[in-house]
Amino acid sequence: MGSSFKGVDLFGSGPHVFEVGRQGRRVVSLSVVSGDASVPGTFESGDYELRVTVKGRLVASSESGLWSLRDAIAAQAEFEVSGGNLVDHHGRTWSGVKLFQVEWLGPVDRGRVLSVGYEALFGVTS
């Protein structure tokens, strides 16, 4: 099974992995909130928001092909773009997530094929 975002295979041109961010309750120090290091204690301020990072490499046989892959991902990170389902290789689905940002990692590798690394951050906000 392939991965997808909103039914589109954005990452399938090369190897990629999914990482789920911190989960659980957010605990905040009262000394941080008050600005006074002498204030003891903590309080819960709700749950962490869902974050899923996809890390991998885009692979193409030409420069224009690689730019097409990059542009398809970047277009999903625009402000007005709606959320959708993010599905990993095993069918695990995160519903209603948005692509918050994509970062291109390092220069383009030029061998038999062209490739570039990336990290794409998905999530939901409350």
What is the extent of the structural domain holding 11? 4-22+49-123
Percent of all residues in the chain with a pLDDT value above 70, rounded to a whole number: 99
The per-residue pLDDT for range 20-45, each reduced to its tens digit, is 999 988 888 999 889 999 989 998 88
Task: Report the alpha-carbon distance of residue 117 to residue 92 in Å, rounded.
Answer: 23
The per-residue pLDDT for range 9-24, each reduced to its tens digit, is 999 999 999 999 999 8
Q: Which residues contact 43 (CB under 8 A, 6 or more apart)?
A: 27, 28, 30, 33
The per-residue pLDDT for range 74-99, each reduced to its tens digit, is 999 999 899 999 999 999 999 999 99
Count of domains for the chain: 1
In a domain, 27, yes or no: no
Give the model's pLDDT for residue 9.
96
In a domain, 34, yes or no: no
Residue 46 banded pLDDT, cuts 50, 70, 90: confident
In a domain, 33, yes or no: no
In a domain, 92, yes or no: yes
